[in-house]
Amino acid sequence: MGDGTLEMGVPAKPTIGTLAPADISAALAEGWRDFTRYPTYGLFFGAIYAFGGIFIVTMLAIYHLPWMIIPVAIGFPLVGPFVAVGLYEVSRRHEQGRAVTWQGILTEVFRQRERQLSWMAFVVLFIFWIWIYQVRLLLALFLGFRIPATLEAFATVVTTTPEGLLFLAVGTVVGAALSTFLFAVTVISMPLLLDHEIDFVTAMITSIRTVAANPVPMLAFGFVVAATAILAMLPLFLGLLVALPVLGHATWHLYRRAIAFA
């Protein structure tokens, strides 16, 4: 792809296409193929994500904040799209027939600090902090000052008491709403900002419009992403070594199927 402009200097505009369920399965299959073609890159970026999660959870355990471990573990996939930028670049270079090299990939990743994609980091982190603070608010509302000091005791309280079950129910609804919103904002905007010189607000609007225009396939893809990420975290986050790169490559291919430029 080019830089998002036409030959006469007029900015190109993203056009949203129509997706079918078959596009989702095709994007996932292409994501798997890209991972198997370039497994070292996938494992590298997957390791950053997986070991980042292990480090955060370990620090929360050390500082005796068990109530934070579950919401952080659940909310951690929210930052996945930003970590996956390097995977988008791998898929883009393969698609364009360009050399896939460490220098080229990492240079492009670090170059995003000077581009609009860096603003998306603030959007993602802001929504992540909203998630954390709403968990704290719900804990205060439903459990008050009776927050256990260990993860095992905390899990027992939230799964065996009426207050804990209500906390889980409300937290699940709120978390699902935040996750759906963030998915709609980032699923297309992240690869779009890497691929084209476009402002991040336009990219977010384009992403939301794409989800709105294709609700069934896009939300189905979002469900696959969420379910896969949660299952991949169960074995101490290590499943993310494979899950993140496959989903990252798949997101790139879904973007390419959904967006054209005129």
Q: Work out whether the CA dihedral 233, 234, 237, 241 comes out positive or negative.
A: negative
Counting residues of the chain whose pLDDT is more than 70, the rounded percentage is 85
Burial of residue 71 (CB within 10 Å: 0-12, 13-18, 19+) is buried
For residue 199, tell me if it sits in a domain.
Answer: yes
The rounded distance, in Å, linking the Cα atoms of 128 and 136 is 13
For residue 113, the enclosing domain spans 16-261
For residue 94, tell me if it sits in a domain.
Answer: yes
pLDDT in tens, 67-89: 666 666 666 665 666 678 899 99
| Mean pLDDT on 116-121 | 82
For residue 3, tell me if it sits in a domain.
Answer: no
For residue 214, tell me if it sits in a domain.
Answer: yes
pLDDT in tens, 127-145: 878 887 888 888 888 887 6
Q: Is the pLDDT of residue 217 over 80?
A: yes
| Mean pLDDT on 224-242 | 85
Indicate the pTM of the whole model: 0.83
pLDDT in tens, 1-34: 444 444 434 456 889 999 999 999 999 999 999 9
Q: What are phi and psi of 143, to 5 degrees?
A: -110, -15
For residue 164, tell me if it sits in a domain.
Answer: yes
Query: What length does the chain have?
Result: 262
Most confident of 56-70, 109-123, 245-259: 245-259
> Structurally, how many domains does the chain consist of?
1
**Structure confidence at residue 248 (pLDDT):** 93
Q: Which residues have a Cβ under 8 Å from the Cβ of 253 and sit 6 or more positions away?
A: 26, 27, 30, 31, 34, 91
For residue 4, tell me if it sits in a domain.
Answer: no
For residue 147, tell me if it sits in a domain.
Answer: yes
**Structure confidence at residue 73 (pLDDT):** 64
For residue 119, tell me if it sits in a domain.
Answer: yes
